[in-house]
Amino acid sequence: MMQNGTWSGSIKIGGVVKDVSPTSFQGTRDRSWGIRNIGAPDAQPNPAATGFQFFWIWAPLNFKDFSIHYFVNQDAAGDAWNENAVLIPKALGEPEIKMKHFGYEQDYEPGTRFAKNARIHMTSADGETYQIELQPKWNFYMKGLGYGHPTHRHGGYHGDLSVIRERYELNAVSPENIHVQAMCDAMLTTSKGQEQGQGVLEQLVIGPHAPSGFTELMDFA
């Protein structure tokens, strides 16, 4: 589903080149960034559709000797219907540590649906606890990858090579801007002590969500 690792090469944006090397960059490759075979969404309205609700959190986190992958979907009541967590050692041959229990909570920036801070709680089968404090630093707006784009939609085929550049107004309360991945400092606490890492916290919160205090399609903290 996803790969944490290192890369080498360069990124060029607006004439500015940024070199990328394994010693200075770690990151995550999301398998969903590619062509999907399900086709375009159905353009026909569904007359029986009820109010829309979606709560999604995705957190791939990198530490010195391992990475952690956590995700959750919750319903309007805050009950998880899709959730998992795993610790993946970077050393070849070492087994993954699958978490037996996990949970998530966050505080919001006032007037937004963005996390001011967040906490992930995990317990492995042997009883070891993992407490992760996430502190967002800045947001990457997912519409830059084609989510909701009118002509270059995410997961669609746009030819052998299609590159565009756009500038956006980043109003935090605009519906097209609420899907973000926040670059975060991550502090992990276990029985062995604390360790600092980094990662992203993807957030897409639409509609009611009782733990957040949201009752409408697009009300804010």
pLDDT tens readout for residues 7-51: 899 988 888 999 999 888 888 877 655 666 665 667 777 777 777
24: left (phi over 0), alpha (psi -120 to 50) or beta: alpha
Would you say residue 41 lies in a domain?
A: no
What is the pTM for the complete model shown? Answer: 0.88
66-71: average pLDDT = 96
Would you say residue 27 lies in a domain?
A: no
Query: Which of 102-116, 154-168, 196-210 bottoms out in mean pLDDT, i.e. has the lowest?
Result: 154-168
Would you say residue 76 lies in a domain?
A: yes
Would you say residue 70 lies in a domain?
A: yes
Note down the domain range covering 125: 51-156+171-221
**Cα distance between residue 136 and residue 118, in whole Å:** 8
pLDDT tens digits, one per residue of 90-142: 888 899 999 999 999 999 999 999 999 999 999 999 999 999 999 999 999 98
Read off the pLDDT band of 198 (50, 70, 90). Answer: very high
Would you say residue 132 lies in a domain?
A: yes
**Cα distance between residue 51 and residue 182, in whole Å:** 27
**Cα distance between residue 55 and residue 210, in whole Å:** 11
CATH number at residue 203: 2.40.370.10
**More confident position, 39 or 209:** 209
* Neighbouring-strand partners of residue 119: 105, 133
Would you say residue 166 lies in a domain?
A: no
Read off the pLDDT band of 156 (50, 70, 90). Answer: confident
* Neighbouring-strand partners of residue 13: 16
Would you say residue 15 lies in a domain?
A: no
User: DSSP 3-state assignment of 82?
Assistant: strand
Would you say residue 127 lies in a domain?
A: yes
The answer to whether 107 and 117 have CB atoms below 8 angstroms apart is: yes
Pick from 116, 104, 177: nearest CA to 144: 177
- Counted domains in the chain: 1
| C-beta pairs of 146-150 under 8 Å, 24+ apart in sequence | 147/179, 148/176, 148/179
pLDDT, position 92:
84
**Cα distance between residue 221 and residue 213, in whole Å:** 7
Provide the mean pLDDT of the chain. 89
Please check the confidence at residue 3 and state whether its pLDDT lies above 80: no
Please check the confidence at residue 183 and state whether its pLDDT lies above 60: yes
Amino acid making up residue 17 = V
Share of the chain above pLDDT 70, in %: 94
Helix (H) or strand (E) holding 166: none
pLDDT, position 215:
97
